[in-house]
Structure 1
Amino acid sequence: MDGLKTALMIMFHPIRGFTVIKEKREDFNYTPTLILFILILMARFIDIYYTHYPLSKLNPRETNLWTEFARMLIPLFTWTIGCYAMTTINEGKTMLKEQLASTAYAMLPYIVLTPIIALLSHFMSAKNSGLFYRLQFIKWAWVIILFFISTATMNEYKFWKTVGVCMLGILSVVIIWLLIGLFYSLGDQIVVFAKELASEIKLLNSR
């Protein structure tokens, strides 16, 4: 029930809602955050499989659901880590668990509006794509605004400092992805090298 009240506050009174998360630091509960991430995945599922096909960018039959889930969660988790790292070195007052919670709560417009837009899409054709994409823009603009407000409110930042920290957070996300890609590429090359070395040793032993 507390999670629902917090969600409603964040949707319509975000400054107060994000402040409540901080005020309840000692009684922090991971359950609402977990539920929100599950709802994010459910909304993504609805977006993929229930958006009217002329307006959908994905073909459900050719879509890997787990890949799409990863594409939703990985940016959110890396943002949590990246933004937390930047606030830590910029006099921030947010704990990692609170940053994770604020990330989940900031996705509420996505959770609420995605099923509604998917339903409305069935009353639209390709000729109404302008209205469809405007609704999508409103949804994501609302999400971005909540991310911004959460960073400002939970760390007690002024406007321009929030802008700077958010930009650094985005930069840190890019760096994290690049590092993951680099380690993956190096790991793959090491595996290939090990296989080739094993083959050479086997070939030498067989002579």
Structure 2
Amino acid sequence: MWIERLRFPFYVIVHPFKGFWELKYDKKGNWIVAMAIVLLVSLASMFQYQYSGFIVNTHSPYSFNSLVQLRNVILPFFLWCVANWSLTTLMDGEGKFGEIVISSAYAMLPIFMLFVPATIYSRFITQEETAFYYYLNGFAVIWFLYLMFVSTMTVHQYTVLKTLVTIGLSVVCMGFIVFLGMLFFSLIQQMYSVYFTIYRELQFR
């Protein structure tokens, strides 16, 4: 049973239309596997940031922060899921929140599959061979974007045009959510500062 669950994401990335259809209607997706893929992608991102060869690595090893790297993958992932679900409920989308999360996570698998070997390869190359490193990374991102497109279209049963519009609006919605979050925390910080100032004034009196 678990072998099939672990094999299914690899089937999805090779046969996306049929795979995402089975994920939605045959309930073949699994939350645990999906979250494991998100974690693996986060680890692959950290691995590439810290250990890619000096020829292609422009980051200072002293600036590495694992929490920041986790945030750079996990936060956009869940922002996408929330934004996409919020929009598609208003645009007659058939996808449930759980289906969006699982299908989006499965779509990220190529990033893990290609980032790790690309990073290892980068430690043994010369300047003239860096093109293949960038090719692997670029192909991983293109493959991921294609899978995200197919997953959105299949899970919500949209046309191609409506899928493109939905993806664009979801990205805008992600930015709007971040803006509201920053505004909220700024308001909380200002309220705390006011109350703390009042408290100090009363304390001195």
Q: Same fold (TM over 0.5)?
A: yes
1:138 maps to a residue whose letter is: F
**Number of residue-to-residue matches in the alignment:** 203
Q: How far off its partner does 1:126 sit?
A: 4.2
Q: Distance in 1 between matches of 2:148 and 2:132?
A: 25
1:52 maps to a residue whose letter is: G
2:44 maps to a residue whose letter is: A
Q: Distance in 1 between matches of 2:5 and 2:29?
A: 11
Q: Distance in 2 between matches of 1:17 and 1:169?
A: 23
2:165 maps to a residue whose letter is: G
Instruction: Answer whether contact 1:51 1:122 (CA < 8 A) is retained.
Output: yes
Q: 1:5 aligns with which of 4, 7, 13?
A: 7
Q: Distance in 1 between matches of 2:30 and 2:39?
A: 16
Q: Distance in 2 between matches of 1:172 and 1:202?
A: 44
1:47 maps to a residue whose letter is: Q
Instruction: Answer whether contact 1:82 1:173 (CA < 8 A) is retained.
Output: yes
Any idea what SS the aligned residue of 1:157 has? coil
Q: Distance in 2 between matches of 1:186 and 1:126?
A: 49
Tell me the equivalent position of 1:190. 191
Q: Distance in 1 between matches of 2:111 and 2:15?
A: 17
Percent identical among aligned pairs is 24
Q: 1:14 aligns with which of 16, 21, 43?
A: 16
Q: How far off its partner does 1:140 sit?
A: 0.9
Tell me the equivalent position of 2:94. 93
2:47 maps to a residue whose letter is: I
Q: Does 1:45 align with 2:65?
A: no
Q: Distance in 1 between matches of 2:6 and 2:29?
A: 14
Shift in alpha-carbon separation, 1:125–1:198, aligned structure 2, 3 A: farther
> Which ranges in structure 1 are unaligned for 5 or more consecutive residues?
none
Matches within 5 A, 1:25-174: 25=27, 29-174=30-175
Q: How far off its partner does 1:28 sit?
A: 5.6
Any idea what SS the aligned residue of 1:22 has? helix
Instruction: Answer whether contact 1:6 1:20 (CA < 8 A) is retained.
Output: no
TM-score, normalised via structure 2 length:
0.92
Shift in alpha-carbon separation, 1:197–1:126, aligned structure 2, 3 A: farther
Q: Distance in 1 between matches of 2:58 and 2:108?
A: 21
Q: 4+ residue stretches of structure 1 with deviation over 6 A?
A: none
Q: Report the aligned-residue RMSD.
A: 1.7
The answer to which of 62-71 and 40-49 deviates more is 40-49
Q: How far off its partner does 1:81 sit?
A: 0.5
Instruction: Answer whether contact 1:9 1:16 (CA < 8 A) is retained.
Output: no
Q: Distance in 1 between matches of 2:59 and 2:21?
A: 38
Q: Distance in 2 between matches of 1:47 and 1:196?
A: 46
Q: Distance in 1 between matches of 2:169 and 2:138?
A: 24
Q: Distance in 2 between matches of 1:164 and 1:114?
A: 29
Q: Distance in 2 between matches of 1:13 and 1:100?
A: 19
Q: Distance in 1 between matches of 2:5 and 2:200?
A: 58
